[in-house]
Amino acid sequence: MKPETIQEKKRRIQAIAERLAGSFPNIRVPLHHRNHYELLVATILSAQCTDEAVNQATPGLFRRYPTPERLSRAAGRDIEKLIRRLGLFRSKARSLKKCAERLVKTYNGEVPSTMEELTGLAGVGRKTANVILGNAFGVPGIVVDTHCKRLSRRLGLTGEQEPEKIERDLMRLLPSELWSGFSHRLIFHGRKTCHARKPDCPSCNLSDLCPSAER
């Protein structure tokens, strides 16, 4: 088969983006939150955990620690107790406390709004930072989690393994106004149809656009 030109790939990803937008018109982040601080905390907690599990843990956590100031003064053991049902709860408890300390000390208790500042917070990598930038500040970004990585590779949009390189490849193919929506919808599609072990190609509405489709 003839290799795809960059223009052909751009047209194909545009078609994929349109189909996904039709399937998932609402791309609200499923983590429950009422403000930027709560979104940041919930997103840090969501690493290697389901959103449902995080949504069960956060009401108690936010009741007890409703602000970065309060969280920065918490005892690590108490945070652990409140999130102990989540994977990696000890290291997440440490990150939350350190993150809150920096928010108070450096940002006057506010969540900062740039990639550089966000990734300087404990527990925040580019993936988490892009969730915050896109959902809290309307700054376009590509969220590369395990679903986005798997689907981008299966759809032939990247050959890379590292999240940062995948992010770069997708950014080159799509206009910036589509970055956030596209990556969130890929995640939804991965959860619903293009599963890690057994992609459901026969019922996938992207199959004619996907080089990995089982025909």
Question: Hey, which residues are catalytic here?
Answer: 127, 145
Taking the complex as a whole, how short is the minimal distance between the CB of residue 50 and ligand SF4, in angstroms? 20
Taking the complex as a whole, how short is the minimal distance between the CB of residue 172 and ligand SF4, in angstroms? 20
CA dihedral 80, 86, 87, 93 (to 10 degrees): -30
DSSP letters of 78-119? HHHHHHTTSTTHHHHHHHHHHHHHHHHHHHTTPPP-SHHHHH
What's the CA gap between 85 and 70, in Å, rounded? 22
- Asked if 204 touches ligand SF4 (CB under 6 A), the answer is yes
- Asked if 194 touches ligand SF4 (CB under 6 A), the answer is yes
Nearer to ligand SF4, 87 or 211 (CB): 211
Residue 10 C-beta-side C-alpha neighbours within 13 Å: 8
- Asked if 17 touches ligand SF4 (CB under 6 A), the answer is no
Nearer to ligand SF4, 76 or 211 (CB): 211
What's the CA gap between 45 and 57, in Å, rounded? 9
- Asked if 157 touches ligand SF4 (CB under 6 A), the answer is no
Q: DSSP state, 201?
A: G
Taking the complex as a whole, how short is the minimal distance between the CB of residue 154 and ligand SF4, in angstroms? 4
- Asked if 155 touches ligand SF4 (CB under 6 A), the answer is yes
Nearer to ligand SF4, 102 or 150 (CB): 150
- Asked if 213 touches ligand SF4 (CB under 6 A), the answer is yes
Q: Exactly one of 88, 139, 171, 201 binds ligand SF4 (CB under 6 A); which one?
A: 201
- Asked if 200 touches ligand SF4 (CB under 6 A), the answer is yes
What's the CA gap between 170 and 172, in Å, rounded? 5
What's the CA gap between 82 and 60, in Å, rounded? 7
- Asked if 154 touches ligand SF4 (CB under 6 A), the answer is yes
Nearer to ligand SF4, 4 or 110 (CB): 4
Q: First and final CA of the chain: distance in angstroms? A: 16
Q: What residue has token string 């550089």?
A: 116
Which residues of this chain interact with ligand SF4, rule CB under 6 A? 151, 154-155, 193-194, 199-201, 204, 206-207, 210, 212-213
